Amino acid sequence: MNNRIKILCLFFSFIFFFSCKSKNEKYYKHRGQVFGTFYSIIYESNNKDLFDEIQEKFKEYDYSLSNYNKESVVSKINTNESNHTDKYLRYMLKLSKEISKNTDGAFDITVAPLVNAWGFGFKTSEFPDSTAIDSMKTFVGFEKIQLIDSIVKKDDSRVIIDLSAIAKGYACDVIADLLEDHKIDNYMIEIGGEIRCKGKSSKNKNWRIGIDKPFDDKTGLNHGIEAIVKMNSGAMATSGNYRQFYYKDGKKYSHTIDPVSGYPVSHNLLSTTVVANNCATADAYATAFMVMGKDKVINFLKSNKEINALLIYENNEGKLSTYISEGMKNMIQK
C-alpha cells in the first residue's frame, strides 16, 4: 500500500471514529433537589443514563452523614446511640481533623452547638449570652473526637459532629467517583454551589463557572458575576456571609461562627472561592478561610501552594476588592 492510500485510509478512519463517537455518546443532564439544596449533574456517556445510580448514591450518602436524618450514622453517634462509623464518615473525620490542624482550628466539625445557639444550625435556640457561649465551648473542639479504627470516641457525650461545612463538597466527590467508575471522562457536578468537574463540556471547551459578587441578599435573587473560572479538572467551592445573616439591635450577625471565640466573625472578608483537587477539601477550606479573615488567608495561601483561592473583601473605601492567588490567576477568564 503506497503512502497516498495509507493517508486516505487513515483520514477516513478518523472520520468514521468521530462520526461514531458523536452518534453513540451524548451529554446527560440531571437537575433536582437533594440535602436541602439544588443539584445539577452533566456528563457524557455512551447512551447509559446513570440517574438511578446517582439517586441511590444520594440516599446512601444521606443515611451516613445527614444531621436531619435521625437514622443516619452521624445522628446516632451524636445521640450516643452508637459509636460505629462507615466509610463516608471515616473519610470525613480524617480529612476534617487534618484541615482543622492546618487552619489552627478555624475549621471545626464540632462547632454545631455554637452555630445552633446563634440561630444558623439544624436546631433553633435563643440568642446566647457570654455565659452560654463559655459553657458550650467546653464541649466544642476538633480535638475532642478521636477515630480509633472504625469507632468514634468523644471526650464529652455532648460533642456533636456536624459536617454541613464539608458535606456538599464531599457529595460532589462521591458522585464524581461513581461517574469515573463508569469510565466517564467529561462531567460537571454542582451541589449547592460546590463544583467538581473533569474534561470538557458538550461544546468541547473547558467548563466555565461563575463566581457571584457578594451582595447582601437572603433571597439569592440579586446576582452579579465577579469572575468566571475556566476548569478542566478539579473542584471549586465558595463560602460567604452575604446570604445567611440577620440583624439584632442594629448589629449584623453572620452565619460563620469562629469555633475558638464562639462568636460570629466580624471582618471585611465577604466571600472566598477555593480551588483544590477534590471538592471536600475546597469546601472545608472555603469555610475555614471565612473564619480566618483576609490577612491570615493570604499568608496561608502563600505557604500552601496546592490550595488556590479568590477572595472578595471590602476595602478601606467601602468598595469591593479581590485577591487572587498566583495559581488561580490563569484560571480566570479575561
CATH number of the domain to which 148 belongs: 1.10.3980.10
Q: Domain check: are 177 and 307 in the same one?
A: no
Residue 30's DSSP bridge partners are: 41
Q: Which are the contacts of 69, defined by CB distance < 8 A and separation ≥ 6?
A: 62, 63, 75
Do 255 and 319 fall into the same domain? Answer: yes
How much is the pLDDT for 252?
A: 52
Are 261 and 213 found together in one domain?
yes
Tell whether 59 and 174 lie within a shared domain: yes
Please list the helix, strand and coil fractions of the chain in percent, rounded to the nearest 5, in that order: 35, 25, 35
Q: Residue 284: CB partners within 8 Å, gap ≥ 6?
A: 95, 96, 99, 107, 165, 166, 169
Asked whether residue 317 falls in the same domain as residue 229, the answer is: yes
Residue 282 near residue 274 (C-beta atoms within 8 A): yes
- Last residue of one domain, picked from the residues 201, 223, 257: 201
CATH code of 174's domain: 3.10.520.10
DSSP 229-292: EEESEEEEEEEESSSSEEEETTEEEES-B-TTT-SB--SSEEEEEEEESSHHHHHHHHHHHHHH
Q: Is residue 90 part of a domain?
A: yes
| Residues 312, 215 share a domain | yes
Indicate if 147 and 181 belong to the same structural domain.
no
Residue 192: CB atoms within 10 A of its CB come to 18
Quick check: 295 and 311 in contact, CB under 8 A?
no
Q: ∠ CA 149-153-157 to the nearest 5 degrees?
A: 160
Q: Residue 267: its pLDDT value, please? A: 85
Task: Examine residue 8 and state whether it is found in any structural domain, yes or no.
Answer: no
pTM: 0.87
Give the residue carrying C-alpha cell 460533642: 159
User: Do 139 and 174 lie in a common domain?
Assistant: no
Indicate whether 19 belongs to any domain: no
- Asked if residue 319 belongs to a domain, the reply is yes
Judged by DSSP in three states, 170 sits in helix
Q: How many domains does the chain have?
A: 3
Which residues, at least 6 apart from 40, have a Cβ–Cβ distance to it below 8 Å? 29, 30, 31, 188, 189, 190
- Provide the domain limits for residue 196: 25-67+165-201
Let me know: does 126 contact 303? Beta carbons within 8 Å. Answer: no
Q: Are residues 184 and 222 in the same domain?
A: no
Please check whether residue 17 lies inside any domain of the structure: no
- In this structure, is residue 3 part of a structural domain? no
**pLDDT tens over the chain, length 334 residues:** 443 333 333 333 333 333 334 444 699 999 999 999 999 999 999 878 999 999 999 999 999 999 999 999 999 999 999 999 999 999 999 999 999 999 999 999 999 999 888 777 655 566 788 898 999 999 999 999 999 999 999 999 999 999 999 999 999 999 999 999 999 999 999 999 999 999 999 999 999 999 988 865 544 555 678 999 999 999 999 998 755 554 455 555 556 889 999 888 888 899 999 999 999 999 999 999 999 999 999 999 999 999 999 999 989 888 889 999 999 999 998 6
Query: Does residue 1 fall inside a structural domain?
Result: no
Are 192 and 210 contained in the same domain?
no
In a domain, 270, yes or no: yes
Q: Are 316 and 182 contained in the same domain?
A: no
Phi, psi for 29 (deg, rounded to 5): -130, 125
DSSP at 332: B
Say if residue 33 is in the same domain as residue 128: no
Q: Are 275 and 309 in contact (CB under 8 A)?
A: yes
Backbone angles phi, psi at 155, to 5 degrees: -70, -25
For residue 222, the model assigns a pLDDT of 54
